[in-house]
Amino acid sequence: MTMGQRLSLLWRRFSPLEDRLLAAVRNVLPAAAVSIFDEQVRAIAHVQRLPGWTEIDYYPRRRGRVDWASVPLFPRRGEFPLARVGFAVERCRYRATLGCVAGHIFDFGITPGPQRIAFADWDSPPTADLLSDPFRTDAESGHEIPAAWRSVLGRAAAPAVATGWVLHDARTVRVVTLEEGQFLVLAERGADEFILYRVEPPSEVMFRLASHDGTPEPILGDVAVIFQRA
């Protein structure tokens, strides 16, 4: 990204990268969701880009505060991934997932970090997939958790609680996007230790993240053993 391109972000809401990603998501939405999506995009007045642009957050502002109150919302009000976009620049593949929370779009999680190519042309048209129907209610739309985790919930709840863990089922699990992919948070202790399941790219094993700035490590044995440690 050149200095001129960086300065242009002071007066334009979206980079070319974000314009293309939002357009790709719009193309795969159910017809009834398009007008709501358009209103939400128009309402965005502040964009926060994390280092490397691995996460890009969107906010409407009114009188200096974040305010979604006057913006149309999707019927589904929980936290969920709306759509995924794949694209390539200079033969490097990128994956972007647009997440929603409380009925509105909230952030793109992008791997690998795309800051360097935010103004670059894409090698070819993107691929895009709808991940969740924004018109399904939260009760209809629980996340699918792996069978191995359902087994853990049935036999490890008591020792997990005793050692400070909170375990999640399909109703309470949430999605996070890290550099390594998109994960379900299956369990957490405090605010710095997590058991994860990678949904994109798919994986058959669960992962342990020992700290926020760490790397998810595959759990090769019985995950329930972790909950027995103080």
H or E element: which one contains 200? strand 193-200
The verdict on 105 and 41 lying in the same domain is yes
Same domain (yes/no): 103, 177: no
How many domains does the chain divide into? 2
Average pLDDT over residues 198-213: 86
pLDDT of residue 43: 94
The average pLDDT across 108-130 equals 93
pLDDT computed for residue 230 by the predictor = 62
Question: Could you tell me if 219 and 197 are in contact, meaning their C-beta atoms sit under 8 angstroms apart?
Answer: no
Sign of CA dihedral 74, 75, 81, 87: negative
Does 127 lie in the same domain as 63?
Answer: yes
CA 215 to chain centre: 17
Last residue of a domain, one of 85, 106, 136: 136
Tell me what the mean pLDDT of segment 149-169 comes to. 86
Which residue range forms the structural domain that includes residue 186? 147-228
Secondary structure (3-state) at 179: coil
**Would residue 142 count as lying in a domain?**
no
Examine the domain organization and report whether 113 and 160 are in the same domain.
no
Task: Please say if the pLDDT value at position 57 is more than 90.
Answer: yes
Radius of gyration over every alpha carbon of the chain, rounded to an integer in angstroms:
19
One domain, residues 116 and 172: no
List, for residues 193-202, the tens digit of each pLDDT value: 899 999 888 8
